[in-house]
Amino acid sequence: MTESPDATLRLSDFLPYQLSVASNAVSNRIAEVYRSEFGLKIPEWRVMAVLGDAGALTQRELTAATLMDKVAVNRACKTLEDRALVVREPNEQDGRSHHLALTADGRTMHDRIMPRARAMERDLFAALSEAERETFGTLLAKVRERADEPGS
């Protein structure tokens, strides 16, 4: 009986594994700054970053935008509320849910972290040419779109 080519695949050659490892390495590098300087964990910063970019969102919208588990989003939102970095506001379109939005302190912290995160991003991508960065972004978008297709 012969082995299929897939049976001999090494984990280090498996694209989902490579993406996960690369994502974790990049996130952990940036996370060190907002953990040590701002006392934020990765899920908390992701929620703040999305709210800073998109404005007020429901927890369901935050879960979809961050692709994090709803329990992790709920915990992050609770921590951010306790620290007065986000506030819950009634959702006028749906009386059962609330919008979460950055407070003035949350916006200030977000605006202090973003330039640092962007500088680290520039440093990480300095190894790539501008054309390679554009290609990399295009390829990641294609893989993400394909992963979002039903049945793929």
Is this structure's pTM higher than 0.85?
no
CATH of domain 12-148: 1.10.10.10
Q: How far apart are CA 139 and CA 8, in angstroms?
A: 26
Query: How confident is the model over 75-116, as pLDDT tens digits?
Result: 999 999 999 999 999 888 877 889 999 999 999 999 999 999
HSE-up of 38 (CA within 13 Å, CB side)?
26
Q: Where are the domains of the chain?
A: 12-148
pLDDT at res. 144? 87
